[in-house]
Amino acid sequence: MKALRLIAHGAPGELRHEEVPTPEPGPGDALVRVRACGLNRLDLWVEEKGLPIPILLPRIQGCETAGEIAALGPEVTGWSPGDRVCISSNLACGGCEACRAGEESMCSRNRIFGVETDGGFAEYACLPARHLVPLPRELGFEAAAGLSLAASTAMHMLTDRTRVRAGDWVLVIAGASGVGSAAIQIARQLGARVLATGSSEAKRSLALALGAEAALDPADPSWPGEVRRLTGKRGVDIVVEHVGGPLLAQAFDCLARGGSIVTCGATAGREISLNLWPLFVKQQRLIGSYGRNRRDLVETLRWAAEGRLRPVVDKVFPLSDGVAAFKALRQREVLGKVVLCP
């Protein structure tokens, strides 16, 4: 099969579109014919060796995968060749206390598909069939590949780690990103009033089109004050954050008493200084969110099939142009998602 493999780390790293052996499904495994696979910030971290976990090279990356079952190994029940599927990219162990409780995102033996195993930037991907989720027929492969990781991450943040209530104010940092574009829509569906940030005019326009009432430029140092003004000085109830660094400190300046910041990433820096005085006086929360539970992905696909959540796919590249896709994401030229199709 053809696959896009990371041969050497770097920014850019060395990626090769080349012929590799097609994997054979073992007991419990499914071989998925990949139709589309989304590109994520996570893929750039792998490329750059920016994750605190060892990555064996060469590696086929690609976490956000949709396709059809091509073949099944022995001992697989409930699936048939030809079934349309999405892959849940956190490969939880399935046996621990967290997994048995349906909290796969808490599994300490979690491995990330396409990071710690070979992933979806290939014609075929092989993995345990229990990580497959049915793809509703209303959803195309490219749409699913533009939703299954980023939007389910936002679903986990807004319906599990925090719970948006009707009438809440929600601030979405980087509202034109994969997570951000989904978070705006999910918060609106749950009855929240939404504000967003965006680092360019095009990104702010997209955030507004998705349902934000105002979109602010984080390069303008007065932007947290603008959030307070827009919310009648009270601040927002929830901040959806995945940038980190100095921006996370600014997010606290936007937060209401009793409010929560929920974070799933730290693109701009993993270490911050935090003034604890306002945190406890205002009874605020800083909440970590990691990946998703299976039910978050199922809900995400159901919402999308019902038209309540639309994927924002900016660019679709053939797998053979994978290098150009990585470059577009690295240069932050992307509005929503980049998808690769073998």
96 near Zn ion, judged by CB under 5 A: yes
Is residue 92 a contact residue for Zn ion (CB under 5 A)? yes
CB of 92 to Zn ion, least distance (A): 5
Give the nearest distance from C-beta 93 to Zn ion in angstroms: 3
Residue 91 beta carbon to Zn ion: minimum distance, rounded to whole angstroms: 10
Does residue number 157 form part of the binding site for Zn ion (CB under 5 A)?
no
Cα–Cα distance measured from residue 130 to residue 78, given in angstroms and rounded to the nearest whole number: 10
Which among 27-35, 91-99, 137-145, 277-285 is the span making contact with Zn ion, rule CB under 5 A? 91-99
Binding flags for Zn ion, 105-144, as an x/- string (CB under 5 A): --x-------------------------------------
Give exposure, 107-138, as e/b (b: 16+ Cβ within 10 Å): beebebbbbbbbbbbbbbbbbbbbbbbebeee
Residue 192 interacts with Zn ion (CB under 5 A)?
Answer: no
Residue with tokens 């603008």: 226
| Positions 263 through 292 that interact with Zn ion (CB under 5 A) | none
Q: Tell me, what DSSP letter sits at residue 23?
A: P
Residue closer to Zn ion (CB basis): 59 or 294: 294
Q: Which stretch binds Zn ion (CB under 5 A): 23-31, 86-94, 171-179, 226-234?
A: 86-94
Q: Which is nearer to Zn ion, 103 or 321 (CB)?
A: 103
Q: Which is nearer to Zn ion, 131 or 188 (CB)?
A: 131
Nearest-approach distance from CB 130 to Zn ion, in angstroms: 11
Could you tell me the two tokens for 288?
């970590």
- Choose one: 87-95, 115-123, 137-145, 278-286; the region binding Zn ion (CB under 5 A): 87-95
From 1, 71, 93, 279, residue interacting with Zn ion (rule: CB under 5 A): 93
> 255 near 235, Cβ under 8 Å?
yes
CB of 304 to Zn ion, least distance (A): 27
Report the alpha-carbon angle 333-337-342, nearest 5. Answer: 110
- Classify residue 122 by its DSSP letter: B
Shortest distance (Å) from residue 162 CB to Zn ion: 23
Q: Report residue 95 as tokens.
A: 């046996």
Beta carbons of 311 and 337 less than 8 angstroms apart? yes
Taking CB positions, which residue lies at the least distance from Zn ion?
A: 107
Three-class SS of 26-83: CCCEEEEEEEEEEECHHHHHHHHCCCCCCCCCCEECCCEEEEEEEEECCCCCCCCCCC
Dihedral, CA atoms, 101, 104, 106, 110, nearest 10 degrees? 140
Nearer to Zn ion, 99 or 206 (CB): 99
Q: Are 40 and 63 in contact (CB under 8 A)?
A: yes
**Joined tokens for residue 114:** 């396409």
Q: At closest approach, how far in Å is the CB of 116 from Zn ion? A: 14
Q: Does 99 bind Zn ion (CB under 5 A)?
A: yes
If DSSP codes are grouped into helix, strand and coil, which group holds residue 6? Answer: strand
Could you tell me which stretch among 75-83, 89-97, 199-207, 287-295 binds Zn ion (CB under 5 A)? Answer: 89-97
Query: Under the criterion CB under 5 A, does residue 183 sit at the interface with Zn ion?
Result: no
Comparison of 10 and 95: residue with beta carbon closer to Zn ion: 95
Question: Which amino acid type is present at position 50?
Answer: G
| Encoded tokens for 311 | 């994927």
CA angle at 199 for the pair 146 and 120, rounded to the nearest 5°: 20
CB of 89 to Zn ion, least distance (A): 15
Rounded to the nearest whole angstrom, what is the least distance from the CB of residue 103 to Zn ion in the complex? 9
Q: Give the binding site for Zn ion (CB under 5 A).
A: 92-93, 96, 99, 107
